[in-house]
Amino acid sequence: MKHLPILLACILATVSARADWTLKDDANSELPGRKVDIAQDGVLRARFIYGEGQIKPYLRVYGEEGDCLNDWDPKQQYPHHRGIYIGWNKITSDLGTFDLWHMNNGGTMAVKKLEKLDGGKDSATLVATIEWNAGKPGADGSKLLLIETRTLTISRPAAKAVQVDAMFELNPARDLSLGGDLQHAGIHFRASKTVGDRKAETAYVWEADLDGKGGKVKSKDMKWAQLTFPIGKRWYHATELNAPTNPVEELSWRDYGRFGFFFTKSLKKDEKLAVKYRFVTELAADVTAKPTDGQRAAFRKSAQALYDAFAK
């Protein structure tokens, strides 16, 4: 019995050490629907937004001193762009063709269940089951296009950086094709609406280092893309890393702060497709204005290092 206090102390220390990351599902006082706040030592690092009144579930990421890197306003330019999100503007099946990008012809994405909210010492993990529905039922009486399992693991691998490992597993409920065009489909990051007011200051680098005129890079070898952008007086990088196993056809980018990878795909019923991405947002050191060519060269080097670590 004399060792019991020591044993209890060890247990409590272990529990405390593994309680750095927390997830809390709650009503959203700022926007319609619900939110899952994802915090490290009580500091908000990300927020998953979903539920009634939201056209699609999406993830916000936070920077230093509470900077929201993906805020949203119904009056912003292109309000269907929201944080880290997925969608295609032409999903075609026996039900017709529906737009699950703009969500403007009856299609819906709805979280049916939060399967997992798991906090720990090194990271937090959220797993959600999401139904993608058409705007009208088929002969079977169902609107269901596919069931998505979205797994988001949030960590802080370095000071002033947040990492989101995102897997989107799509399980079709019927034969369908994911189609559209690169500006309106794929897996994307949209920076805060204030970035649109300062779009002349944003800068991009990407690999493969090809011409990006017109806001697109056509290549099946796209590895990563990085946006550098201002939020208030601070500057941030947002890097999207494309897993080598993912299909990819093009990179889409816009100077107002929206970019992502695009591909088309035809899938048979129950033919699962899983794609993996890593998003890294970090404070951009020594950036006080639109980055110079020399700074962009340094950004390329650091982004490539992020990709090399991810690809392993």
- Identify the pLDDT of residue 161: 97
User: Per this entry, what is the length of the chain?
Assistant: 312
- Identify the pLDDT of residue 17: 38
Beta-carbon contacts of 30 under 8 Å, excluding residues fewer than 6 positions away, are none
What CA–CA distance (Å, rounded) separates 214 from 248? 18
Q: Give me the chain's average pLDDT, please.
A: 93
Spans in the chain with pLDDT lower than 70:
1-19
- Identify the pLDDT of residue 300: 96
- Identify the pLDDT of residue 225: 98
Spatial strand order of the sheet with 224-231 comes to 108-119, 123-133, 144-155, 161-172, 273-283, 234-242, 224-231, 203-207
Got the DSSP string for 46-102?
EEEEESTT-SS-EEEEB-GGG-BTT---TTSSSTT--SEEEEESEEEETTEEE-TTT
Kind plus residue range of the DSSP H or E element containing 145: strand 144-155
pTM of the predicted model as reported, rounded to 2 decimal places: 0.93
Reference 249, options 156, 187, 189; nearest CA is 187
- Identify the pLDDT of residue 98: 97
- Identify the pLDDT of residue 10: 43
Got the DSSP string for 260-281?
EEE--EEE-TT--EEEEEEEEE
What three-state secondary structure class fits 296? helix
Separation of CA 311 from chain center: 18
What three-state secondary structure class fits 141? coil
